[in-house]
Amino acid sequence: MHTRGIIIEGLKKQYGSGDTLVDALKGVEMQVALGEVVGLVGPSGSGKSTLLKCLGAVIEPSAGRMKLGETIIYDGKWKIKDLRALRRDKIGFVFQAPYLIPFLDVIDNVALLPMLAGEGNSIARKRAVELLEALDVGHRAKAMPSQLSGGEQQRVAIARALVNHPPVILADEPTAPLDSQRALAVIGILNDMARQYETAIIIVTHDEKIIPTFKRIYHIRDGRTHEEAGEGKSPRELIKTDKA
């Protein structure tokens, strides 16, 4: 397996202690190559959000190892001092709700992150526009988020997740509010972006419409993962079949 992507070994996470102890992750093994999109599926309470939060450095694991390429992120403790910079530069998040900033227009919603990372305003905006165009929402660049459809808002949220070209994208139910055509279109875009920008993408989902698109799926149950080959169908072919 590619050693440049995400490598998770024996990852554990416990919440609480004593009588209230919860073993949320019990030794997760996972590898995702750069340029690859994998699905993460499992029943409610199986540990999906906990795993994404550990990977996103939002919460601290209890044991195990997480690596990004050759860089060890966590090995029994955090190995990176500046976790905010790690989240800002290396990880893009896409959520079920787009969480756009309501008082900024579409361009600035996307350009804000590179600006925060120290990029000049005009270069940040240029990058935002390029991505918005690639995601087919360039024509809405001057609109406010409330003026967009749900599918357009989600594409803007994807542009925001990609704008700093992070090696990792973590998506938590990104298609849940979308109908089948739009859900498949969003997955098509994430697949294209993974290839184009060499991004490792993990998609947590319950969405039956998109599960056939994954080439590899990690099932998580009771805090442990097992890997399975998926059908790897092309989202665009599925859109056509759906229309027929």
Ligand X SMILES: Nc1ncnc2c1ncn2[C@@H]1O[C@H](COP(=O)(O)OP(=O)(O)OP(=O)(O)O)[C@@H](O)[C@H]1O
Q: How far is the CB of 58 from ligand X (least distance, A)?
A: 11
Q: In what order do the strands lie in the sheet with 200-204?
A: 91-94, 168-172, 200-204, 37-41, 216-221, 224-229
| Residue 64 · residue 10 · CB < 8 Å | yes
The least CB distance from residue 25 to ligand X, in Å, is 8
Nearer to ligand X, 49 or 181 (CB): 49
Cα separation, 184 vs 193, whole angstroms:
14
Q: Measured in Å, how far apart are the chain's first and last C-alpha atoms?
A: 38
Q: At closest approach, how far in Å is the CB of 14 from ligand X?
A: 9
Question: Nearer Cβ to ligand X, position 66 or 111?
Answer: 66
Dig out the tokens for 161 from the structure: 């997740």
Rounded least distance, CB 27 to ligand X, Å: 14
Residue 16 Cβ, how far from ligand X at the closest point, in Å? 5
Q: Closest CB to ligand X among 46 and 109?
A: 46
Strands of the sheet containing 63-68, edge to edge, are: 22-32, 6-15, 63-68, 71-75
- Angstrom distance (rounded) from CA 109 to CA 119: 14
Between 45 and 232, whose beta carbon lies closer to ligand X? 45
Q: How far apart are CA 64 and CA 233, in angstroms?
A: 33
User: How far apart, in Å, are the Cα atoms of 218 and each of 2, 30, 86?
Assistant: 17, 8, 24
b/e code 132-147 from CB counts within 10 Å (16+ = b): bebbebbebbeeebee
Query: From CA 152, how far away is CA 159, in angstroms rounded?
Result: 11
Residue nearer to ligand X on the CB measure, 24 or 238: 24
Sequence-separated (6 or more) residues with CB below 8 Å from residue 153: 98, 100, 145
Min dist. Cβ of residue 165 to ligand X (A): 27
Contact residues: ligand X, CB under 6 A: 15-16, 22, 24, 42, 44-50
Residue number, 44 or 122, with CB nearest to ligand X = 44
- Smallest gap from residue 222 Cβ to ligand X (A): 9
- Name the residue nearer to ligand X (CB basis): 98 or 223: 223
